[in-house]
C-alpha cells in the first residue's frame, strides 16, 4: 500500500511551495468533486508515498463551498498523516486551524514556515516549548528556498509519527452533549477515533459534516434542545487554548546577537528528533 500524506494550512502560508519542494516529477492535477478548486497530488521524493496539496483555509467551518473540500477530505479519503503548514509570523491566527486538525486525531506534524520572515521581524520562537505544548513534531522550514524540506521528508518517513493527542476540554454542558452525540455516529465508516471531532464540528454546524453524517432523530433533538451559546463557547475554548499554547513561545529580543542569516540557519537546522513528549 502506498502511504498518502496531505498538506493543510491557511491560505498563502507556503503550502504549494513546500509541495513542490517535497515532490518529484509525477503530478496529477484535476479538480475536487463539485467545486472549482484544483486538486494536486504528487509523488514524494525518495518514494515515500503520495502527497496531496489541499486548498488553504483559516477554519474547518467553511465560508464558501470551495472550503468544504478540506473537511470532506478528512472524512472521506484515506491517508496516513497530515502536514500542517503554518506561517511562523502569524502563529496565533494559524493555530485556529491547527487545533481543529489536532482534534481530528490523525498522525500529524507541523511545518513552521516563513521563519525567515519572523526572524527578520525580530521574533524568536521557542520551538521546543511549542513542540512540548502541541505534542507533535514541529519542523522549521523556509519553503521558498527549500531549507528544512529534507527534515520534513524524513519526518514523513518516521514510523513513530503518532496521532495528535490534543486535549481540548469544553464547558461541562458541551462535554455532556458530545458524550450523547458520539454514539449516534456508530454506523458511519469513519473510524471511532474521529467521532469526538465529528461531534464538535456537528455542534458548530459545519455543513460538510452535516452532509456526511446525514439525518438522525436523536442527534437533531439533542441539538434543538440546546439553550446556551454552544458555538461561542467552543470558539472561546479554542481561543483560550491557543493563548495557553503560545504563552512564552514567541518573544521579541531587543537585538539578535548573531547575524540574521546565521539565525535563520540555526532555526532551520533545529532538530525535532528526541522531543520530550
Q: Say which entry of Mg ion, K ion, ligand GDP, none residue 114 contacts (CB below 5 to 8 A, set by partner kind).
A: ligand GDP
Which one, 82 or 174, has the nearer CB to ligand GDP?
82
Under the criterion CB under 6 A, does residue 264 sit at the interface with ligand GDP? no
**Listed ranges 15-23, 76-84, 151-159, 258-266: which one lies at the site for ligand GDP (CB under 6 A):** 15-23
Binder of ligand GDP out of 6, 17, 127, 242 (CB under 6 A) = 17
Under the criterion CB under 6 A, does residue 16 sit at the interface with ligand GDP? yes
Binding to K ion in span 8-47, by CB under 5 A: 12
**Listed ranges 142-150, 154-162, 163-171, 250-258: which one lies at the site for ligand GDP (CB under 6 A):** 142-150
Which one, 97 or 222, has the nearer CB to ligand GDP?
97
Under the criterion CB under 6 A, does residue 144 sit at the interface with ligand GDP? yes
Contact present, 109 and 51 (Cβ < 8 Å): no
> How far apart are the C-alpha atoms of 164 and 51, rounded to whole Å?
19
Which one, 22 or 164, has the nearer CB to ligand GDP?
22
For the residues of the chain, what is the DSSP string, one character each? ---EEEEEESTTSSHHHHHHHHEEEEEEEEE-TTS--EEEEEEEGGG--EEEEPPP-S-SS-SSGGGHHHHHHHHH---SEEEEEEEGGGHHHHHHHHHHHHHH-SBEEEEEE-HHHHHHTT-EE-HHHHHHHHTS-EEE-BTTTTBTHHHHHHHHT-TT--B--------HHHHHHHHHHGGGGTTSSS-GGGHHHHHHHHHTT-HHHHHHH---HHHHHHHHT--S-HHHHHHHHHHHHHHHHHTTTEE--SS-SS-HHHHHHHHHT---TT---
Taking the complex as a whole, the smallest distance from the CB of residue 267 to ligand GDP amounts, in Å, to 11
Binder of ligand GDP out of 14, 81, 105, 140 (CB under 6 A) = 14
Taking the complex as a whole, the smallest distance from the CB of residue 141 to Mg ion amounts, in Å, to 15
**Listed ranges 138-146, 165-173, 175-183, 262-270: which one lies at the site for ligand GDP (CB under 6 A):** 138-146
Contact residues for ligand GDP, defined by CB under 6 A: 9, 11-17, 56, 113-114, 116-117, 142-144
Contact residues for Mg ion, defined by CB under 5 A: 15-16
Amino acid at each position: 500500500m502506498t502511504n498518502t500524506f496531505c498538506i493543510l494550512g491557511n491560505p498563502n502560508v507556503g503550502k504549494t511551495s513546500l509541495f513542490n519542494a517535497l515532490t518529484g516529477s509525477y503530478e496529477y492535477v484535476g479538480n475536487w468533486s463539485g467545486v472549482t478548486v484544483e486538486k494536486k497530488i504528487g509523488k514524494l521524493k525518495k518514494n515515500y508515498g503520495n502527497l496531496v496539496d489541499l486548498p488553504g483555509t483559516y477554519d474547518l467551518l467553511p465560508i464558501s463551498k470551495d472550503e468544504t473540500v478540506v473537511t470532506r477530505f478528512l472524512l472521506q479519503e484515506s491517508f496516513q498523516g497530515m502536514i500542517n503548514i503554518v506561517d511562523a509570523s502569524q502563529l496565533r491566527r494559524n493555530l485556529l486551524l491547527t487545533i481543529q486538525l489536532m482534534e481530528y486525531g490523525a498522525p500529524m506534524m507541523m511545518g513552521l514556515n516563513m521563519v525567515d520572515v519572523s526572524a527578520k521581524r525580530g521574533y524568536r520562537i521557542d520551538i521546543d516549548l511549542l513542540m512540548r505544548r502541541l505534542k507533535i513534531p514541529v519542523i522549521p522550514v523556509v519553503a521558498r528556498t527549500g531549507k528544512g524540506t529534507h527534515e520534513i521528508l524524513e519526518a514523513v518517513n518516521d514510523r513513530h509519527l503518532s496521532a495528535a493527542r490534543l486535549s481540548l476540554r469544553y464547558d461541562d454542558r458541551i462535554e455532556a452533549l458530545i458524550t450523547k452525540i458520539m454514539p449516534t455516529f456508530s454506523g458511519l465508516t469513519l473510524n471511532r477515533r474521529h467521532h469526538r471531532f465529528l461531534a464538535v464540528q456537528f455542534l458548530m454546524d459545519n455543513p460538510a459534516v452535516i452532509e456526511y453524517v446525514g439525518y438522525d432523530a436523536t442527534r437533531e433533538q439533542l441539538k434543538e434542545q440546546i439553550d446556551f451559546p454552544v458555538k461561542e463557547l467552543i470558539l472561546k475554548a479554542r481561543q483560550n487554548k491557543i493563548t495557553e499554547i503560545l504563552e512564552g513561545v514567541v518573544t521579541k529580543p531587543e537585538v539578535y546577537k548573531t547575524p540574521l542569516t546565521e539565525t535563520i540557519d540555526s532555526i532551520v537546522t533545529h532538530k525535532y528528533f528526541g522531543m520530550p513528549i
